[in-house]
Amino acid sequence: MTKNLVQYAGQLSSEVRIQLLDLLKAVSLANLGERNDLKRLCGIALELLDNAQRYGNSRDVSFEWRIEGQSLVITIKNHAARVDAERLMKTVESINAMSAEQVTAAFRAQLTNEQFGEKGGAGLGILQIAKRTGGQLNAHIEQVSSEEFLCTSRVAAPLR
Amino acid sequence: MNALILPPTRSTPGVWFEPATGRFELTGNSIPENANEFYQPVIEWLANNLADMKGELVMDFHLSYFNSTSLKAIYQLLKQIKAACTMGSTIRVRWYAEDDDELLIETVAMLSDMLDLPMEILPAEDDKVKAVS
Q: Could you report the per-residue pLDDT of B61-94, keeping only the tens digit for each?
A: 999 899 999 999 999 999 998 887 677 778 899 9
**B45-64 exposure pattern, b = at least 16 Cβ within 10 A, e = fewer:** bbeebbeebeeebebbbbbb
Please say if the pLDDT value at position A84 is more than 70.
Answer: yes
Burial (CB count <10 Å: 0-12, 13-18, 19+), residue B87 = exposed
Optimal mutation site among B72, B100, B101, B116, interface A, most CBs of chain A within 10 A: B72
Q: What's the CA gap between A104 and A63, in Å, rounded?
A: 27
ipTM for the whole complex: 0.90
Mind listing the pLDDT tens digit for each residue in A90-131? 999 999 999 999 999 999 999 998 888 878 787 888 999 999
**Chain A positions in Cβ-Cβ contact with residue B30 (cut-off 8 Å):** none
Please say if the pLDDT value at position B132 is more than 50.
Answer: no
**A14-46 exposure pattern, b = at least 16 Cβ within 10 A, e = fewer:** bebbbebbeebbebbeeeeeeeebbbbbbbbbb
State the pTM of this model.
0.91
Interface of B with A in 112-131 (CB under 8 A): 114
- Contact check, Cβ <8 Å, A37/B102: yes
Return mean pLDDT, chain A.
Answer: 91
**pLDDT of amino acid B126:** 62
**pLDDT of amino acid A78:** 95
Q: How confident is the model at residue B19 (pLDDT cuts 50, 70, 90)?
A: confident
3-state secondary structure of B117: coil
